[in-house]
Amino acid sequence: MHPMLNIAVRAARNAGTVIVRAFEQLDKVEIEKKGTNDFVTSVDLSAEQTIIETIRKSYPNHSIISEEAGELKGEDNDYQWIIDPLDGTTNFVKGIPHFAVSIALKVKGKLDQAVIYDPIRGELFTASRGKGAQLNGFRIRVKQHKELSGAVLATGFPFKHKQHTNAYLDIFKALFTKTADMRRAGSAALDLAYVAAGRVDGFFEIGLKPWDTAAGELLVIEAGGLVTDFSGGHGHAKSGNTVATSSRLLKEMLKDMRPHLGEALSK
């Protein structure tokens, strides 16, 4: 295992321990509202601190971008860690056991290492640039589904971007009528990991943040898939409008999404 991936795994497992311990005593978790339909808990902050401390112990000069702490500049900006300490906070708060720790490393602007860890199921998804993707040490691959018929897609509702509700529902309807079924489980990181593992055939969501998608993007790519914006370009890192699937299914998904995008989502 790459030494930096090894540290990411250690950080994710340490954070997972914090999260599981708190999940067993949810009544003691402090919850704050940080925006419309957006929550942060004391556990997000504790898990984040654990990750940052684990990384900084080995790489004190690296830069870090994290959901709660924001951008923490280091002396070496060639190495940038992108962290979501608890992706699926609403699930966590409600006692739904579906959430994950997401950690990615960019080297000179390119995704290089990735970890998504589901502490409830003990599932560790990892990827290193050019080395493939694994689940608990076993190689995983994106399903090379040829058409929407028979496919199961994952998605997330635009709960932070309700101005896009009508466009989203039109896209949902266009895809749903052609697929076997859709899933909305509440963690974009795990949705992307599940695409990489072939558990779902594709994924789309509006307005995600880099910490939601960075690790999952590398997992999907290293598992043989593609990650694009809603027009098939590379604007997803900026817009957060993300599609992840196999190369064959991507064409089908984008074709059915295109008529419903409008100017705001065609990025």
pLDDT tens track for 208-234:
999 999 999 999 999 999 999 999 999
Same-domain status, 20 and 76? yes
pLDDT tens track for 86-141:
999 999 999 999 999 999 999 999 999 999 999 999 999 999 999 999 999 999 99
| Residue 227 covered by a domain | yes
CB 136 within 8 A of CB 123: yes
The first and second tokens of residue 129, run together, are 């640039």
Same-domain status, 157 and 83? no
pLDDT at 36: 62
Same-domain status, 134 and 185? no
Same-domain status, 125 and 236? no
| Residue 145 covered by a domain | no
Q: How far apart are CA 211 and CA 2, in angstroms?
A: 21
pLDDT tens track for 23-75:
999 888 888 876 665 677 889 999 999 999 999 999 999 999 998 888 888 88
How far out from the chain centre does Cα 215 lie? 6
Q: Which of 105, 139, 173 is the last residue of a domain?
A: 139
Q: Which of 139, 168, 192 is the last residue of a domain?
A: 139
| Residue 173 covered by a domain | yes
pLDDT at 145: 84
pLDDT at 7: 98
Q: Which of 139, 168, 191 is the last residue of a domain?
A: 139
pLDDT at 91: 95
Same-domain status, 196 and 126? no
| Residue 199 covered by a domain | yes
| Residue 105 covered by a domain | yes
| Residue 147 covered by a domain | no
| Residue 123 covered by a domain | yes
Q: How far apart are CA 267 and CA 1, in angstroms?
A: 36
Residues 193-203, mean pLDDT to the nearest whole number = 98
CATH number at residue 104: 3.30.540.10
The first and second tokens of residue 74, run together, are 């280091």
CA nearest neighbour of 222 among 161, 131, 144 = 131
pTM for the model stands at: 0.95
Lowest mean pLDDT among 36-40, 191-195, 196-200: 36-40
What is the number of other CB atoms lying within 10 angstroms of the CB of residue 201? Answer: 25
Residue corresponding to tokens 């079924």: 181
- In the sheet that 123-128 helps form, which strands lie side by side, from edge to edge? 70-72, 62-66, 76-87, 100-107, 110-118, 123-128, 133-135, 138-139
CA nearest neighbour of 103 among 184, 186, 187, 7 = 7
The first and second tokens of residue 62, run together, are 């690296």
pLDDT at 267: 57
pLDDT at 261: 81
Same-domain status, 101 and 168? no
CB 89 within 8 A of CB 96: no
Q: Which secondary structure element, helix H or strand E, spans residue 203, and what is its range?
A: strand 202-205
Task: Please count the structural domains in the chain.
Answer: 2
pLDDT at 100: 98
Instruction: Collect all residues with Cβ–Cβ distance below 8 Å to 92 and sequence separation of at least 6.
Output: 19, 23, 41, 43, 86, 99
Give yes or no for residue 172 having a pLDDT over 60: yes
CA nearest neighbour of 170 among 75, 83, 94, 265 = 265
CATH number at residue 209: 3.40.190.80
Residues 159-176, mean pLDDT to the nearest whole number = 89
Domain that holds residue 11: 3-139
pLDDT tens track for 236-264:
989 999 999 999 999 999 999 999 887 55
State whether the Cα torsion 252-152-240-221 is positive or negative: negative
pLDDT at 67: 84
